[in-house]
Structure 1
């Protein structure tokens, strides 16, 4: 029996038909050699680019086409606490027998994620390989960070309204691995709107503009610099997949963040 993020038990499955509502886990399934068992995915599941196109899209992470889902006769649905509404998952559970719930909150939680997927879908060897690769990348990031000064950062995920992340999110914990400490550290919600007139722009060492879910580009930074009178060298675009995607992409993500932190430190 293998336990998921909400304490549900799962038995190993030989012939699973899997729907993934989590883009990073869709990529993980392919990287674990399970691509031929994935029968459904969201429109946001874009990796691995060439292979995932062959899998039927059934909608987004918040809404799906129920008729398309039912036609796939899936045995397993993989979801995430943050990305998929409970009401949607409960509705899908009425006709999909096994719901695997994930909820990584720190980079180290990837180890349990690899083990969970590997054990349920009989890919223990692939899981062990990913765990080894991840631990090496995480250690590299931590050792790199030891020689760097901590930086307070504001990490934007959206504009109109401006939104950021708090310290208990996976994104914040990933950045912390490389000595980048997100501000504010706490709020009533995990992804709060932020008042830019509150003084936070002056309190941070760097302002990071993520490439997702809002696709920030250079012209957004230029406009921000002019509107808020912030030096351009304090503003940086950061790859959102490398900070927010858990699963196999987190291996590359740890290496990326180590390099990013070095660049930020000059």
Structure 2
């Protein structure tokens, strides 16, 4: 999607990830968000005053969210708490929220917006959807322009450097990674990092350090979330893999929404830095 479409294609239908058509909101808007990155997006679109509920994992922007009631976690939503907040709109995600809970919430929340961005470019449509539904098209267009600029920088560094195959760890005991169709993997691909393993059967595969494909890995990334890898794990993973291990900010690699542009710039800088020093361990 072109940035200009965010601003000028107001007649295009507003359709979410399940194909549901949404209309621009009329009257008072009360939003409950069950997705941390989209809670941040709601605030960055200037809708903080309409946000009446969020999960305990919704932590950005910290100062703004201190006064917003919590409704449980992304997987264990407290339905009675949501009901009491009387939201007009509920924001959810295919991967992060349980389908059964969303279906029950839909029985009393008038508008449920389902999202499922799988690559950085999907944020353009996400901005347009939220901008149209919540009547904040100008703010959405500014985010789209920023994302377009960040994508151009990412693609430039990917073109300038040879591609690398990497292993991105999200958990320890058991060791777990990500599939190639995840948002994290496609975001890393934007700067020239191709993730391993190639395992279409599992979205978050367990890692066997004796597997033959480990030899193809150039670098192992240790994410800060959901497992909080730290300096103490770098040597352990380097010994297990026989490859350099690098700490990486998981929010910058996995949060879509308004953080997408900052995440791409972070990864672009990291790609350049590691290429320059040949090793590097960046927190």
Does the pair score TM above 0.5? yes
Match of 1:117 in 2: 130
For the 8 Å contact 2:120–2:187, the answer to whether it is kept is yes
**Worse overlay, 121-130 or 191-200:** 191-200
Q: Could you tell me how far 1:224 is from its partner in structure 2?
A: 2.6
Distance 1:185 1:129 in 2: 36
Match of 1:205 in 2: 218
Aligned to 1:248, the other structure's residue is in SS state helix
Distance 2:145 2:99 in 1: 33
Distance 1:247 1:188 in 2: 27
Distance 1:140 1:224 in 2: 30
Gaps of 5+ in 1: none
Match of 2:265 in 1: 255
Distance 1:36 1:179 in 2: 39
Alignment of 1:205-244 (within 5 A): 205-226=218-239, 228=240, 230=242, 234-244=244-254
Q: Could you tell me how far 1:184 is from its partner in structure 2?
A: 1.4
Distance 1:108 1:185 in 2: 22
Q: 1:80 aligns with which of 65, 73, 93?
A: 93
For the 8 Å contact 2:229–2:247, the answer to whether it is kept is yes
Q: Could you tell me how far 1:229 is from its partner in structure 2?
A: 6.5
Aligned to 2:32, the other structure's residue is in SS state strand
Q: Could you tell me how far 1:11 is from its partner in structure 2?
A: 0.8
Alignment of 1:168-207 (within 5 A): 168-207=181-220
Distance 1:168 1:64 in 2: 26
Match of 1:100 in 2: 113
Match of 1:71 in 2: 84
Q: Could you tell me how far 1:149 is from its partner in structure 2?
A: 0.9
Distance 2:184 2:198 in 1: 12
Q: Could you tell me how far 1:223 is from its partner in structure 2?
A: 2.5
For residues 93-129 of structure 1, give each alpha carbon's deviation from its aligned partner in whole angstroms, at most 9, with x where no partner exists: 1111111000000100000000000000000111111
For residues 34-55 of structure 1, give each alpha carbon's deviation from its aligned partner in whole angstroms, at most 9, with x where no partner exists: 0000000000000001101110
For the 8 Å contact 1:149–1:265, the answer to whether it is kept is no
Please identify runs of 4+ aligned residues in structure 1 that moved more than 3 A: none
Check 1:229–1:93 CA distance in 2 against 1; reply closer, same or farther (3 A cut).
closer
When the two structures are aligned, how many residues end up with a matched partner?
Answer: 263
For the 8 Å contact 1:42–1:59, the answer to whether it is kept is yes
CA RMSD after TM alignment: 1.2
Gaps of 5+ in 2: 1-12, 277-283
Q: TM-score, normalised by structure 2?
A: 0.90
Alignment of 1:11-90 (within 5 A): 11-14=23-26, 15-90=28-103
